[in-house]
């Protein structure tokens, strides 16, 4: 059967572009796009109109566990396997801007950010890993040694600012903490899903600074050549995904393939 990829958080930004890229460049792969409200995702609806036989759209708010669980149940009744899961959805902060200092921190803001950026992707891993375990290794590199081969790839979209070792500037408490914790989830997942048979490759990826709604409040501070288009960033990230194997699992990589310290 052709490859099956699921992009979680696909209404706009990088998630939407991952879907477009997979549909344009990975035929005949089937793509499942999840978003919290398909009725307010016109670009995704248009893409679905272009590829009615290969793109399925499902409603999933990742802060609602019952929606994640029921989406996994529905998917497994339609598809026998999943080869790639990309956890894309995130918020910078409910206010749209990261905290610049402690006085901006609120319990509500940090809790909501963690729920979307950290807990949501982990719930996706919980409910969709059984389907990933039925994957046929359609993404990434497979060594000849069968014991080192993988069946699926799980990508958590993270951010360089989630690196504790790389943090020299401070600020953005909620977003930084949510991505640092997501990186810990990636590492844990790589251990649990990498020891069993069949094995799943789990990585965190940083897309660069990309021209999307999430980074929009900060675009004026970014030199033009460092503000990537979604097309460029996704091409770079797909090149990394294509190069993945079990020995690269449990790590974080930037858009250019370099490893990011935890």
Ligand X SMILES: NC(=O)c1ccc[n+]([C@@H]2O[C@H](COP(=O)([O-])OP(=O)(O)OC[C@H]3O[C@@H](n4cnc5c(N)ncnc54)[C@H](OP(=O)(O)O)[C@@H]3O)[C@@H](O)[C@H]2O)c1
Handedness of CA 202, 199, 247, 2 (dihedral sign): negative
Interface map 127-166 toward ligand X (x if CB under 6 A): ------------------------------x-x-------
E strand map for the chain? 4-8, 30-35, 55-59, 84-87, 150-157, 199-206, 209-210, 227-228, 251-254
Q: Of the candidates 59, 63, 136, 245, which one interacts with ligand X according to CB under 6 A?
A: 63
Residue 91 Cβ, how far from ligand X at the closest point, in Å? 5
Query: By CB under 6 A, how many residues form the interface with ligand X?
Result: 27
Rank residues 73 and 213 by Cβ distance to ligand X and give the closer one: 213
3 binds ligand X (CB under 6 A): no
Number of continuous H segments (helices) and E segments (strands) in the chain = 7, 9
Rank residues 25 and 216 by Cβ distance to ligand X and give the closer one: 216
Alpha carbon 255 to its chain centroid, in Å, reads 13
Longest dimension (CA), the chain: 55
Alpha carbon 131 to its chain centroid, in Å, reads 17
Rank residues 25 and 219 by Cβ distance to ligand X and give the closer one: 219
Q: Which residue is nearest to ligand X (CB)?
A: 13
Rank residues 126 and 134 by Cβ distance to ligand X and give the closer one: 126
Rank residues 125 and 210 by Cβ distance to ligand X and give the closer one: 210
Rank residues 86 and 151 by Cβ distance to ligand X and give the closer one: 86
Peptide bond into 198 cis (omega under 30): yes
209 binds ligand X (CB under 6 A): yes
239-243, Cβ contacts within 8 angstroms, sequence gap of 24 or more: 240/203, 240/205, 241/84, 241/139, 241/140, 241/153, 241/155, 242/139, 242/140, 242/141, 243/140, 243/141
70 binds ligand X (CB under 6 A): no
Q: Of the candidates 13, 38, 135, 137, which one interacts with ligand X according to CB under 6 A?
A: 13
Interface map 231-260 toward ligand X (x if CB under 6 A): ------------------------------
**C-alpha to C-alpha distance for 124 and 68, rounded to whole angstroms:** 6
**C-alpha to C-alpha distance for 6 and 199, rounded to whole angstroms:** 18
Rank residues 13 and 135 by Cβ distance to ligand X and give the closer one: 13
214: tokens are 């999430």
109 binds ligand X (CB under 6 A): no
Judged by the rule CB under 6 A, the positions of this chain that interact with ligand X are 9, 11-15, 35-37, 61-63, 88-91, 116, 157, 159, 206-207, 209-210, 212-215
């Amino acid at each position: 059967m052709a490859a099956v990829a699921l992009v979680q958080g696909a209404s706009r930004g990088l998630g939407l572009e991952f879907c477009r890229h997979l549909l344009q460049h990975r035929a005949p792969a089937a793509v499942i796009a999840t978003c919290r409200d398909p009725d307010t995702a016109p670009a995704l609806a248009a893409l679905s109109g272009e590829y009615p036989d290969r793109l399925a759209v499902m409603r999933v708010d990742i802060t609602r566990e019952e929606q994640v669980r029921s989406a996994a149940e529905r998917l497994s009744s339609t598809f026998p396997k999943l080869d790639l899961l990309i956890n894309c959805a995130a918020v910078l902060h409910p206010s749209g801007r990261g905290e610049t200092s402690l006085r901006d921190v609120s319990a509500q803001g940090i809790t909501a950010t963690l729920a979307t950026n950290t807990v949501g992707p982990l719930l996706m891993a919980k409910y969709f890993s059984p389907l990933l375990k039925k994957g046929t290794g359609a993404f990434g590199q497979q060594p000849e040694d069968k014991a080192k081969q993988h069946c699926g790839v799980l990508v958590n979209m993270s951010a360089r600012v989630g690196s504790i070792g790389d943090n020299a500037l401070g600020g953005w408490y909620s977003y930084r903490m949510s991505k640092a914790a997501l990186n810990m989830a990636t590492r844990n997942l790589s251990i649990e899903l990498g020891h069993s048979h069949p094995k799943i490759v789990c990585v965190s990826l940083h897309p660069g600074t990309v021209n999307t709604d999430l980074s929009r409040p900060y675009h004026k501070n970014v030199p033009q050549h460092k503000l990537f288009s979604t097309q460029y960033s996704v091409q770079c990230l797909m090149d990394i995904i294509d190069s993945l194997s079990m020995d690269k699992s449990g790590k974080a990589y930037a858009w250019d393939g370099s490893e990011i310290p935890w």
